[in-house]
Amino acid sequence: MSQQRIVILGGTGAMGAATAARFARAGWRVEVTGRNAELFPEPLRELGVRFHALDRADTAGIGQLLSDGADLLVDMVCFDAQRADELLRWAADCTSSAVISSRAVYTDAEGRHVNAEQPPEFAGPVPESQSCVAPGARDLDPFTREGYAPCKRAMELRVLESGVPVSVLRPGKVHGAWARNARTAGIVEAMQGNPPELRVSSLESVQSLTAAANVAQLLELVAAHPASRVLNAADAHPVTARAVFERIAHTVGYTGEVQEAGDGPSTLANPFASAHPFELDTSAAKELGYRPADSLSLVAEEVQWVLDSQRAGALHGRMGA
């Protein structure tokens, strides 16, 4: 039996690295593309993962890489309908494919979404059938606050209407080792000075987080069950920002107090804040066999990676990438 092959486009960040590692350990031939070889994690190289210096815009180069197809194609950097068209050409020769979207596409009953002026309010866990933003025009910039969600939605619709077996994954706030801008990094640095108190806003806010390792697990299921579908990807349970800060403190060894505070010059930025509860319903993924780990243990893994990176002198360069 020939070795199964996975190709990950834009695979040097948290989700790409976690996916590459999981599949390599499972015996797959793993190939990853990225713009900068310096950002390719050395542990992946040690696992036998092959890196290709290809920008996502290099459609000819990626087309050549995929000329023989793949058992699973994962596009981590598909932001709009134009890139969706490119993905579909490559996916047509692959057994199964997946593309990463975002929870940002969801809207509440009033049409509000996470990038709107007013945050959304959902009555409960948000299923894949929840209403979404209108798709953006092809000339809309996906790398702006206003354009991100509409462009992602346009990408989703193009993929889902194609009939090609591509799974659309909608994660929450992503965390994990090799994150380009690790959410825990600023908190770790603030706690390392061991101040007697840290003032933080919105500590009681609740939302679903998404560990890169859980995305990797879900992609393994997508590979085994090719289909055109949408799947929420989130950790086992929603968590409060306070619980996240407490786990970071425990991992770092911080002994001071974390106190609720309003916004102000002495208030530490809270990357886990949410104005209203935002829980992703993962029932559809669980029907495939998805069994996500809990957020707090995996947040601790990201923190440990931040600490290890600091000791290696690599944190500044990695986070600024």
Residues above pLDDT 70, as percent of the chain: 97
Structural domain boundaries enclosing 66 = 5-319
Residue 55: how many CB atoms within 10 A of its CB?
Answer: 14
pLDDT at 221 over 80: yes
So what's the pLDDT on residue 39? 86
Cα angle 234, 98, 47 (rounded to 5 degrees) comes to 85
Q: What is the CATH number of the domain that holds 183?
A: 3.40.50.720
Per-residue pLDDT, averaged over 225-252, amounts to: 97
User: Model confidence over 127-136: pLDDT tens digits?
Assistant: 999 999 999 9
Upper half-sphere CA count for residue 115 (Cβ side, 13 Å) = 18
| Rounded alpha-carbon distances, angstroms, from residue 85 to 93, 249, 256 | 14, 45, 52
> What letter represents residue 123's amino acid?
A
User: Model confidence over 261-288: pLDDT tens digits?
Assistant: 988 888 999 999 999 999 999 999 999 9
**What does the block give as tokens for 79?**
């932001």
**Among candidates 140, 164, 162, 161, which has minimal Cα distance to 152?**
140
- Sheet bearing 94-100, strands edge to edge: 50-53, 29-34, 5-9, 70-75, 94-100, 166-171, 229-233
**Paired residues of 167 in beta bridges:** 98, 229
| Rounded alpha-carbon distances, angstroms, from residue 76 to 9, 101, 160, 243 | 6, 8, 17, 29
Give residue 16's Cα distance to chain centre: 9
Q: Angle, to 10 degrees, between the axis of helix 295-312 and the axis of helix 212-224? A: 120
So what's the pLDDT on residue 320? 33
Query: Residue 90 and residue 84: Cα distance in Å, rounded?
Result: 10
Give residue 15's Cα distance to chain centre: 5
User: Model confidence over 119-168: pLDDT tens digits?
Assistant: 999 999 999 999 999 999 989 999 999 999 999 999 999 999 999 999 99
User: Model confidence over 173-219: pLDDT tens digits?
Assistant: 999 999 988 999 999 999 999 999 999 999 999 999 999 999 999 99
Q: Angle, to 10 degrees, between the axis of helix 241-252 and the axis of helix 185-192? A: 50
Residue 171: how many CB atoms within 10 A of its CB?
Answer: 25
Query: Residue 266 and residue 118: Cα distance in Å, rounded?
Result: 25
User: What is residue 181's DSSP assignment?
Assistant: T
pLDDT at 319 over 90: no
| Rounded alpha-carbon distances, angstroms, from residue 47 to 3, 44, 54, 108, 226 | 15, 5, 20, 43, 26
The mean pLDDT value of the chain amounts to 94
**Among candidates 56, 55, 63, 45, which has minimal Cα distance to 80?**
56
User: Model confidence over 9-51: pLDDT tens digits?
Assistant: 999 999 999 999 999 999 999 999 999 998 899 999 999 999 9
So what's the pLDDT on residue 318? 43
Domain count, the chain: 1
pLDDT confidence band for 314 (50 / 70 / 90): low
Q: Any idea of the CA torsion for 23, 28, 29, 33, to the nearest 10 degrees?
A: -20
